[in-house]
Amino acid sequence: MNILEIENLVKTYPNGVSALKGISFKVKKGEFLVIIGLSGSGKSTLLRCINRLHDPTSGKILFDNQDITNASNAQLRHIRKNIGMIFQHFNLIPGKSVLDNVLSGTLGNMNIVNGLLGIYAKDVVEDAMQKIAIVGLTGKEHQRADKLSGGQQQRVAIARTLMQKPQILLADEPVASLDPATSHSVMQYLEKINKELGVTVICNLHFLSLVRQYASAVVALKGGELVYEGLPNEIDENWFKKIYGDDAVEVTID
């Protein structure tokens, strides 16, 4: 069953840059889909169109068989609750504790007064502690999140998005600002969430070695167009040159 269908998606920015030029693909439930491509190929724009942080210019996005392309603001908030997202720069709330950051994942369900005052129900707090345990940060709940290492901050971001009980997790270059060892640790947490909790993951990545290790399906973008759709181990030398250009040399991350 397809959880997400993208049909002929076009995104042209107000300054005239056309980031996506008619992209179509389908994502099966439970898949670990990786999007590859050079910087500027439209990967980030594509992810941000899926949860409508950016509004697509034309085309269709079907989430769970429901067209969300023209969803109103209220509907959009409801849809976003089901779509988690993590970022290259983690985007945690500065100066707040790990627990507060994880709890902020439930803000979509909160009314304004409780949200402003930061009043969370007891079971929500327990849930948050459990999510912190899943990403292996038990004991750090009351430390300032922005003082943790990069890998730990990304795990806080993962715990935050787990609070949404998402059906899809969007990961925008989740390891691009981490060192190789930490990268694997973060990828393994994403794999765990994908396999054990059954969350569909859509992830932008740069390193093909990571793609081969973690992805169950791959799409490749080049200049805003989809140039490859298939399995990770089918990307051979020829495909690599088609996606990254003739001058590109593959680097690995161990």
Partner 1 sequence: MKTIKALIIDLLIVLYNVTVIDRVIIPLCNQSNDISEYSANIFFIHFLIAAAVTAAMYFVPSASPGKRWEKLYSLNYGTPWYVLPYSYIGIITIILTLITGFVVSQVSFKEFFSQDGIEGAQRIFMALFTPNFNIFYKVITAAIETIYMALIATFFAIPVAFLLSFFAARNLMKSSAATALYVFIRTMLNVSRSIEPLVWAIIFSVWVGIGPFAGMLALMIHSVASLTKLYSEQIEDIDEGPVEAMKAVGASNILVVWYGIVPQLINPFLSYTIYRWDINVRMATIIGMVGGGGIGNMLMQYQGLAKWHEVGMVILVIAVVVWVMDFASAKLRSALSN
Do strands 200-204 and 168-171 pair parallel, antiparallel, or not at all (unpaired)? parallel
- Residue from 131, 160, 162, 226 touching partner 1 (CB under 8 A): that is 160
Q: Which is nearer to partner 1, 119 or 181 (CB)?
A: 119
- Residue from 95, 139, 198, 245 touching partner 1 (CB under 8 A): that is 95
Examine residue 147 and tell whether it contacts partner 1 (CB under 8 A): no
Q: Which is nearer to partner 1, 44 or 183 (CB)?
A: 44
Tokens of 167: 């059906």
- Residue from 27, 36, 49, 85 touching partner 1 (CB under 8 A): that is 85
Examine residue 184 and tell whether it contacts partner 1 (CB under 8 A): no
- Residue from 53, 125, 134, 176 touching partner 1 (CB under 8 A): that is 53
What is the rounded CA–CA span in Å between residue 140 and residue 225? 43
Examine residue 79 and tell whether it contacts partner 1 (CB under 8 A): yes
Tokens of 208: 């093909």
Examine residue 81 and tell whether it contacts partner 1 (CB under 8 A): yes
Question: What amino acid is encoded at 172 in this protein?
Answer: D
Examine residue 92 and tell whether it contacts partner 1 (CB under 8 A): yes
Pair 68, 62: CB distance under 8 Å: yes
Examine residue 161 and tell whether it contacts partner 1 (CB under 8 A): yes
Residue 198: left (phi > 0), alpha (psi -120 to 50), or beta? Answer: left
Examine residue 78 and tell whether it contacts partner 1 (CB under 8 A): yes
Examine residue 51 and tell whether it contacts partner 1 (CB under 8 A): yes
Q: How many residues does the chain have?
A: 254
Tokens of 197: 């909790």
Examine residue 203 and tell whether it contacts partner 1 (CB under 8 A): no
Pair 87, 160: CB distance under 8 Å: no
- In the complex, the smallest distance separating the C-beta of residue 97 from partner 1, rounded to whole angstroms, is 11
Examine residue 89 and tell whether it contacts partner 1 (CB under 8 A): yes
SS3 content of the chain, % helix, strand, coil (to 5): 40, 25, 35
- In the complex, the smallest distance separating the C-beta of residue 125 from partner 1, rounded to whole angstroms, is 17
- In the complex, the smallest distance separating the C-beta of residue 126 from partner 1, rounded to whole angstroms, is 19
- In the complex, the smallest distance separating the C-beta of residue 176 from partner 1, rounded to whole angstroms, is 14
Neighbours of 235 (CB within 10 A): 21
Examine residue 15 and tell whether it contacts partner 1 (CB under 8 A): no
Examine residue 98 and tell whether it contacts partner 1 (CB under 8 A): no
Pair 33, 201: CB distance under 8 Å: yes
Nearest to 22 by CA among 14, 12, 31, 13: 12
b/e per residue 199-223 (b: at least 16 CB within 10 A): bbbbbbbbbbebbeebbbbbbbbbe
Residues that bind partner 1 (CB under 8 A): 51, 53, 76-81, 83-85, 87, 89-96, 104-108, 110, 112, 115-116, 157, 160-161, 163-164, 170
